[in-house]
Chain A
Amino acid sequence: AQSVTQLDSQVPVFEEAPVELRCNYSSSVSVYLFWYVQYPNQGLQLLLKYLSGSTLVKGINGFEAEFNKSQTSFHLRKPSVHISDTAEYFCAVSEDTDKLIFGTGTRLQVFP
């Protein structure tokens, strides 16, 4: 069965510093992987996705993620964060994209 683990419930970071949000998944078959962002009082927005091909995926707002099959990971990175990146970030996995399984989220708090 699929599952997603986001090890860090909160990540505090100063503005302009790099950040990595960790995501590990378990699945017995090939998967599709997603990162979503949720700003306060809003729905989720897709940041990026991995379906196949290059393991380094670039998304919106300067975010990127790397799919590592051997480590079953899909960590999200940004080289320099802004105050406006403060939000909840969700990793999700799907084996057929009809049913996304979400992680428990990581709260990114960017301080000035």
Chain B
Amino acid sequence: DTAVSQTPKYLVTQMGNDKSIKCEQNLGHDTMYWYKQDSKKFLKIMFSYNNKELIINETVPNRFSPKSPDKAHLNLHINSLELGDSAVYFCASSSDRTLEPQHFGDGTRLSIL
């Protein structure tokens, strides 16, 4: 069983479009995250939610809006896509805010044409 699953795996779209990436975890974890990995493999946190509440909100354009309908899901909606948004987006989860390391999904590769 997949612990953290993201859909879609690949997303190719044009500049200016709006798109969403979905994430679900079946681990019963309380905390979920979105990370962005750029073309140089650099990985940076974007958002963190704990029990549906926003905990971490890094310096991310407000075109990016996370939504957590319940603690097992954390979706990422992106408006007005730009070329610089091309990256791999990873969802992750953890059970304990203080000590538990994070479990990652396989990533969504977003390509903007």
Binding site for B on A (CB under 8 A): 32, 34, 38, 41-46, 49, 51, 88, 90, 96-100, 102, 104-105
- In the A-B complex, the 6 residue pairs with the closest CB atoms: A43-B104, A102-B43, A44-B104, A105-B41, A43-B106, A46-B101
Count of A-B residue pairs with CB < 8 Å:
55
The residue of chain B having its C-beta at the shortest distance from the C-beta of A90 within the complex is B43
Instruction: Tell whether, in the assembled complex, residue B90 and residue A32 are in contact, meaning their CB atoms are under 8 Å apart.
Output: no
Q: Which chain B positions have C-beta within 8 A of A98? A: 31, 48, 55-56, 97
The residue of chain B having its C-beta at the shortest distance from the C-beta of A49 within the complex is B101
Chain B interface size range: 20 to 34
- Give the distance in Å from the alpha carbon of A44 to the alpha carbon of B93 in the complex: 12
Could you give, for residues 60-97 of chain B, a 1 whenever the CB lies within 8 Å of some chain A CB and a 0 otherwise? Answer: 00000000000000000000000000000010101011
Binding site for A on B (CB under 8 A): 4, 31, 40-45, 48, 55-56, 90, 92, 94, 96-107
Instruction: Tell whether, in the assembled complex, residue B42 and residue A104 are in contact, meaning their CB atoms are under 8 Å apart.
Output: yes
Given A32-B99, A51-B99, decide whether A100 and B104 contact each other with a Cβ distance below 8 A: no
The residue of chain B having its C-beta at the shortest distance from the C-beta of A45 within the complex is B104
Instruction: Tell whether, in the assembled complex, residue A43 and residue B107 are in contact, meaning their CB atoms are under 8 Å apart.
Output: yes
Instruction: Tell whether, in the assembled complex, residue B94 and residue A97 are in contact, meaning their CB atoms are under 8 Å apart.
Output: yes
- Give the distance in Å from the alpha carbon of A102 to the alpha carbon of B41 in the complex: 10
- Give the distance in Å from the alpha carbon of A96 to the alpha carbon of B98 in the complex: 6
Jot down 20 A-B pairs with beta carbons below 8 A, ordered by A.
A32-B99, A38-B41, A42-B107, A43-B104, A43-B106, A43-B107, A44-B92, A44-B102, A44-B104, A45-B104, A46-B103, A49-B101, A51-B99, A90-B43, A99-B48, A102-B42, A102-B43, A104-B40, A104-B42, A105-B41
- Give the distance in Å from the alpha carbon of A45 to the alpha carbon of B4 in the complex: 12
The residue of chain B having its C-beta at the shortest distance from the C-beta of A51 within the complex is B99
The residue of chain B having its C-beta at the shortest distance from the C-beta of A46 within the complex is B101
Q: Which chain B positions have C-beta within 8 A of A100? A: 45, 102
The residue of chain A having its C-beta at the shortest distance from the C-beta of B3 within the complex is A43
Give chain B nearest CB distance to A75 CB in angstroms. 19
